[in-house]
């Protein structure tokens, strides 16, 4: 939710994609983030694999969860 009470629109993080996000890719860059820090990219069903692969090649991907669970520990 946004502060004004309106629902936050959760869109895929893939360039040019405007689809609704269904996955949260939680990641960090160990060179600049503490081990417990998590940044989040959102992904639609079509871009989950390509975004995961991009982060995985860099050893940044930590886990993938449903978007509703993106802030869970």
* 38 lies in some domain: yes
- What is the rounded CA–CA span in Å between residue 47 and residue 22? 10
* 30 lies in some domain: yes
* 29 lies in some domain: yes
The answer to whether residue 2 scores a pLDDT higher than 50 is: no
* 28 lies in some domain: yes
| pLDDT tens by residue, 37-48 | 999 999 999 999
Name the domain count of the chain: 1
Which pair of tokens denotes residue 41?
A: 């990219």
* 13 lies in some domain: no
Residue 8 is predicted with a pLDDT of 79
Q: Which domain holds residue 65?
A: 23-69
- Long-range contacts for 26-31 (Cβ within 8 Å, ≥24 apart)? 26/61, 26/62, 26/63, 26/64, 26/65, 26/70, 27/55, 27/60, 27/61, 27/62, 28/60, 28/62, 29/58, 29/60, 30/59, 30/60
**Model's pTM, two decimal places?**
0.86
């Amino acid at each position: 939710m946004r502060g004004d009470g309106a629902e936050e629109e959760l869109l895929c993080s893939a360039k040019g994609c405007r689809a609704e996000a269904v996955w949260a890719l939680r990641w960090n860059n160990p060179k600049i983030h503490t081990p417990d820090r998590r940044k989040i990219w959102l992904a639609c069903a079509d871009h989950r694999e390509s975004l995961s692969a991009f982060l995985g090649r860099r050893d940044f991907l930590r886990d993938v969860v449903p978007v509703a669970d993106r802030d869970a520990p």
